[in-house]
Amino acid sequence: MTTLAAETTSQERLITMILFTALIAVTIGITVWAGRRTRSATDFHSGGRGFTGLQNGFAIGGDYMSAASFLGIAGTIALFGYDGFLYSIGFLVAWLVALLLVAELLRNSGRFTMADVVSYRMRQRPVRTAASVSTLTVSIFYLLAQMVGAGALVALLLGIEDGDTYLGMSADTAKIVGIVVVGILMVVYVSFGGMTGTTWVQIVKAVLLMGGALLVTLLVLSIYDFDFGALMNDASSASGVGDAFLEPGQRYGVEVAGDAWQTMINKLDLISLGLALVLGTAGLPHILIRFYTVPDSKTARKSVNWAIGLIGTFYLLTLVLGFGAAALVGREAIVGQNAAGNTAAPQLAEAVGDHFGGDFWGAVLLAFIAAVAFATILSTVAGLTIASSSSLAHDFYNNVLRRGKASERDEVRVARFAAIGVGVISIVLAVFAQNLNVAFLVALAFAIAASANLPTVLLSLFWRRFNTTGAVAGIYGGLISSVGLVFFSPVVSGKGVDAKGNNLSLFPESVDFHWFPLENPGLVSIPVGLLCAILGTLLSREEDPDRFARLQVRALTGAGAERATTH
């Protein structure tokens, strides 16, 4: 009943395929409609800035709650209990940084990209180049993690196991097909639909995700007569570790008996991860550009409030989903399907569907949650693609190469092609990386955002003395230190193999050049990025108090802020 692949019937696959096709058809329809409304650069990069707070709040939720947070957090809770919840809290608290310090000020002072704000009172070309490099690095790493996950997920959701075929595809071909289809769709959404198309895809996804999670949560709770304590009881006794399942320490900050050094490293790693999550969110380029899609800073504030409500509610639901999967599906069945627990949520959907309506409804609910997961992947990769293409076209092409003299038509055309380029590159990288362990890239993207982007955005808004050298040093310092430290960390080489012999690092187990003990660089790279920004500033005598005055007046009052276009 609860293994997806082995007993997947052709009926289940048929329903899954129908829902996938319907989802693709709806999103393509949205894209065509949005494409007709996308003419100016403001339309392409910012969707005309006409979205309401509610719409943008859902779109932010759709952008932010990636497959890693939906399937990953539910799976982590199902396998490791409390620590999955601990992980999700960092993703939520982070939104206060966005609300209090970033969203409104960015909306008032910028135009299309993060670099608009950072470069406002600096020399344009070096700062925009740095910001563009950082945007692309963060987005491509995040994209790669999503797409490799997408390939495996499509194979799993269609229930194709090794040695098995469906529609003539083996599991390996299905993975590649999954990556290519996701890659093509994201390019289509972005290059034809621009930000308007991307936003509506994200809104649709957020509604589906909340609806699906709420439905399964209610079904799980009704099995337990809405007694959450009974559910926790069942989950902890099914977990095999008893009460420890409900306490921190199964996944993060793990205590290794007899190894005080490794225990200390594990605990520092947890703190490092927590810092990167909380400070990284408000520096993620694909999140930052969402604040430009609304008419003014008040609407930006409202949209963050909606997003906080949605994301918070969703993580509370995942607690039920995770415990439900632990109790009703069971650890063995989950790990049997996917070692990281990524299929725990779809498996749970099938289990509760079976419980209430028999096999047919089990299959329907499974297919529905699989389609939700697919929508989740599509909307996040679309957000990452438009962030990359906007930065390439607006920052790099227009402001660096053409010194700000390119026409809007040119900039939009370049942005459309940039989306295709980003799509092709990430498809190729993802196909090559499909069997590598790339899960660490998500945490790395947050660490770069926290080390390189957030400090420079905040300093440019609040530190009068901050200048070009400081901004460039801050961005590259944060970027290089986080990527460099991860390169020499156990996630890239030397972590060894797990109990089943699976390699835990990116490089083969025979290679080991790691010397940095932590898996998450934030604890070191965030201070390094900030320090580089401060030292770089003090080493240069450049200072422009008038531009600073203009930026701050604009950021705080909204005077001269970009307006919405009217259609």
Partner 1 sequence: MTTSPTSEGSEPPLAVTEARAVAMHDDPRFRELRARLVRFVLPASVVFLAWYLLYVLLSAYADGLMSTKVVGNANVALFFGLLQFVTTFGIAILYSRYANRSLDPLADELRAELEGSGEEPAARRGEDA
- Based on its alpha-carbon atoms, the radius of gyration of the chain, rounded to whole angstroms, reads 23
Residue closer to partner 1 by CB (options 62, 253) is 253
- What sign does the dihedral 96-97-102-107 (CA atoms) show? negative
Q: Where do contacts with partner 1 occur on this chain (CB under 8 A)? A: 40-42, 82, 85-86, 89-90, 92-93, 95-97, 99-101, 110-111, 116, 120, 124, 229, 232-233, 236, 243-244, 246-249, 252-253, 267, 270-271, 274, 278, 298, 301-302, 304-305, 308-309, 312, 315-316, 399, 403-405, 408, 546, 549-550, 552-554, 556-563, 565
Name the residue nearer to partner 1 (CB basis): 124 or 170: 124
Min separation Cβ 479 and partner 1, Å: 23
Q: How far is the CB of 178 from partner 1 (least distance, A)?
A: 34
Burial of 202 (0-12, 13-18, 19+ CB in 10 A): buried
Distance in Å, CB of 538 to partner 1, minimum: 23
Closest contact distance (angstroms) between CB of 222 and partner 1 is: 19
Biggest CA–CA distance in the chain, Å, is: 73
Q: If you count them, how many residues does the chain have?
A: 567
Residue 497 CB contacts under 8 Å (≥ 6 apart), including other chains = 503, 504, 509
Per-position b or e across 416-441, b if 16+ CB within 10 A of its CB: bebbbebbebbbebbbebbeebbbbb
The pair of structure tokens assigned to 430 is 């993802």
| Residue with Cβ nearer partner 1 (20 or 51) | 51
Q: Please count the other Cβ atoms lying within 10 Å of the Cβ belonging to residue 405.
A: 9
- 120 vs 166 by CB, closer to partner 1: 120
The pair of structure tokens assigned to 23 is 């989802």
At 466, the amino acid letter reads F
Closer residue to partner 1 in complex, CB, 115/160? 115
Confirm if 398 and 390 have CB atoms less than 8 A apart.
Answer: no
| Residue with Cβ nearer partner 1 (232 or 418) | 232
Q: Closer to partner 1 by CB, 246 or 439: give it.
A: 246
Tell me the closest approach of the beta carbon of residue 231 to partner 1, in angstroms. 9
Shortest distance, CB of residue 148 to partner 1, whole angstroms?
28
Distances (CA, A) of 258 to 261, 269, 499: 9, 18, 19
Q: Which is nearer to partner 1, 162 or 546 (CB)?
A: 546
**In the complex, least distance from residue 57 CB atom to partner 1, rounded to whole angstroms:** 12
How far, in Å, CA of 528 to CA of 482, rounded? 9
Residue 20 CB, shortest distance to partner 1, in Å, is: 33
List C-alpha distances in Å: 50 to 7, 98, 290. 48, 20, 12
Shortest distance in whole angstroms from residue 267 CB to partner 1: 4
CA torsion through residues 362, 364, 367, 368, sign: negative
Nearer to partner 1 by Cβ, of 86 and 188: the residue is 86
